Amino acid sequence: MMALKNILLTLLLVSCYLLPFSAFAAETPPVNSPDAWSKLGRGLGNILFCPFEILYQPSVIAKRGERWPVAFLGGASKGMLFMGVRGLAGVYEVVTFPVPLPAGYKPILKPEFIIPSY
């Protein structure tokens, strides 16, 4: 009987000792969660690579099956529009990178980079 009490007391003391460590495990953010530095990098990338929208959008239209004049003219004009939007979004993200807006430093553009698979 005394051995059982000693075992139970030991288990209770060990669990009380290990319980606070579970709180630290719950507070760690996920590995791929965005933070201020990823927002800054995304903003700088959008500023730097926004001119490539002019080249990328005609290829997107051509992949849909449009002929080359439509893909070239329509894609170039769409690319210039997307270039402006991506550049402004990049400037916004660089200027506001320490502020968690939108919530959790999520990207404001979809896709967050010019090439969606990146």
Residues with Cβ < 8 Å from 52, sequence gap 6 or more?
114
**Which tokens in the block code for residue 45?**
């990338």
pTM over 0.75: no
Tell whether the model's pLDDT for residue 116 goes beyond 90. Answer: no
Segment 70-111, tens digit of pLDDT: 888 999 999 999 999 999 999 999 999 998 888 888 889 888
Segment 15-51, tens digit of pLDDT: 666 666 555 555 555 566 788 899 999 999 999 999 9
Cα distance between residue 86 and residue 52, in whole Å: 10
**Which tokens in the block code for residue 113?**
């980079």
Tell me if 77 sits within 8 A of 51, measured CB to CB: no
Cα distance between residue 69 and residue 75, in whole Å: 9
